[in-house]
């Protein structure tokens, strides 16, 4: 391939990297990708001039600040605009035309999913379902994506990757929920607690001043928060030794079954609380489904263990270096993305090396 080819690929990566930054900001905030059509400053919401919206260059010239209000603009935009063309060029070196078009689409989906997951600990369905759709379309139109000549066979391999990947991670998610789906808070003595913002979409319990909000703990309809109250006041009525079960939309006790919006006040003291914890979000299950449509079942069987290894290594290092709390959630999407990128770049070769080593060892 000529230098001009790779320059064009890099330029496409710069432009689409800028679009990825827009998606990363807007999708999790449920904003339209098209209105406003032009990018805007996240701080003052002023729409940017074309000269201030040139990928990479504008951020560097403005030193990471808005040209209108002067407030900082996250370095994440620069990272995304550099990472996307870097992946595009790397994939183009590895994969020939026109199959590389599909892998570039996968790279774009992975970049968006990764940075949304890093910031919000979720991967919106718009990203994963769009990725699944793209993977199936490219499999039909470019059967050589899966190393075959028939479009229907290629779609079958794409669906196999989708189903194998999502099935494995769904089983892991359910198993993890059974084994590690709750964590306990056991203060050395009774502490104050209260329910706040019961009429909002994201209520929270304050436990000795520390907030435990609904969005971080309720993932399924059966999830619940348990608080053992040594004393509690509910809407002016006082009780002692009462077990409180908070569901997403209501409170249940031996004496109550109250919708949260009907709770005017709730406070007391407790010596024990239990909170639900998700071992793996369903967004990760959908992301591996999207990855599977591009890389097939073999790529999925490579991506998942690589992602698990990277995730475990990160968790261990974070705990050792930063004394990270074991109850803090770590996004798994970035590790799945890393595994998929590794598969595209050198996965089959790594598998070959592993098989030869196992053969020597056997």
% of residues, the chain, pLDDT over 70? 96
Length of the chain: 362
252: pLDDT strictly greater than 80: yes
Cis peptide before 98 (omega within 30 of 0): yes
pLDDT of residue 325: 55
Locate tokens 């779609």: which residue?
155
Hunting for tokens 């407030």 — which residue is that? 71
Mean pLDDT to the nearest integer, 274-296: 91
Which residues have C-beta within 8 Å of that of residue 151, sequence separation ≥ 6?
Answer: 139, 140, 141, 143
pLDDT band of 52, cuts 50, 70, 90: confident
**In percent, how much of the chain has pLDDT > 90?**
66
Q: Is residue 324 pLDDT above 70, yes or no? A: no
pTM of the complete model: 0.82
Average pLDDT (251-264) is: 92
Question: Taking Cα atoms as reference points, which of 208, 204, 202 lies closest to residue 185?
Answer: 208
pLDDT for 128: 97
Question: Lowest mean pLDDT: which of 133-142, 166-175, 299-308?
Answer: 166-175
Q: Give the pLDDT score at 323.
A: 56
By the 8 A CB rule, do 204 and 196 touch?
yes
Per-residue model confidence (pLDDT) at position 328: 60
d(CA 132, CA 37): 26
In degrees, rounded to 5, the angle at the alpha carbon of residue 285 between the alpha carbons of residues 346 and 158 is 55
The per-residue pLDDT for range 60-97, each reduced to its tens digit, is 988 888 888 888 889 999 999 999 999 999 999 999 99
State the average pLDDT over residues 205-211: 92
pLDDT on residue 280: 73
Question: Model confidence over 3-40: pLDDT tens digits?
Answer: 999 999 999 999 999 999 999 999 998 888 888 877 88
299 pLDDT band (50/70/90 cuts)?
A: very high
Is residue 273 over pLDDT 80? Answer: yes
- Mean pLDDT of all residues belonging to the chain: 90
b (16+ CB within 10 A) / e for 125-143:
ebbbebbbebbbebbeebb
Q: What is the pLDDT of residues 279-288, one digit of tens each?
A: 677 899 999 9
Alpha-helical (H) ranges within the chain are 3-26, 57-61, 76-94, 99-120, 125-141, 151-180, 282-322, 333-361
């Amino acid at each position: 391939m000529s230098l001009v080819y790779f320059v064009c690929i890099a330029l496409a990566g710069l432009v689409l990297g800028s679009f990825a930054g827009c998606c990363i900001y807007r999708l999790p905030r449920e904003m339209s990708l098209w209105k406003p059509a032009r990018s805007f400053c996240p701080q003052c919401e002023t729409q940017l001039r074309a000269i201030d919206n040139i990928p990479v260059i504008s951020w560097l010239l403005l030193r990471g600040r808005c040209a209108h209000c002067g407030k900082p603009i996250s370095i994440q935009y620069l990272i995304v605009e550099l990472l996307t063309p870097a992946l595009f060029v790397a994939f183009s070196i590895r994969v020939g035309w026109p199959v590389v078009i599909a892998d570039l689409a996968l790279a774009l989906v992975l970049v968006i999913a990764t940075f949304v997951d890093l910031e919000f600990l979720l991967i919106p369905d718009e990203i994963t379902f769009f990725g699944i759709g793209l993977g199936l379309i490219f499999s039909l139109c470019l059967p050589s994506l899966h190393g075959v000549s028939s479009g229907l066979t290629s779609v079958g391999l794409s669906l196999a990757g989708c189903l194998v990947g999502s099935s494995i991670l769904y089983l892991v998610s359910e198993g993890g929920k059974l084994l590690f789906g709750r964590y306990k808070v056991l203060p050395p003595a009774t502490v104050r607690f209260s329910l706040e913002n019961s009429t909002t979409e994201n209520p929270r319990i304050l436990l000795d001043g520390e907030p435990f909000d609904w969005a971080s703990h309720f993932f399924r309809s059966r999830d619940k928060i348990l608080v053992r109250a040594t004393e509690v006041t509910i809407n002016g009525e006082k009780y002692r030794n009462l077990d409180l079960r908070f569901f997403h939309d209501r409170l249940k006790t031996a004496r109550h079954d109250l919708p949260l919006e009907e709770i005017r006040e709730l406070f007391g003291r407790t010596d024990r609380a239990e909170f639900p914890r998700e071992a793996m979000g369903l967004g990760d299950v959908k992301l591996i489904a999207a990855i599977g449509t591009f890389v097939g079942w073999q790529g999925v069987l490579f991506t998942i263990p690589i992602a698990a290894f990277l995730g475990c290594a990160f968790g261990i290092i974070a705990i050792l270096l930063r004394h990270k709390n074991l109850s803090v959630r770590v996004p798994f999407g970035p590790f799945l993305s890393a595994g998929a990128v590794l598969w595209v770049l050198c996965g089959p070769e790594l598998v070959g090396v592993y098989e030869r080593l196992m053969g020597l060892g056997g």
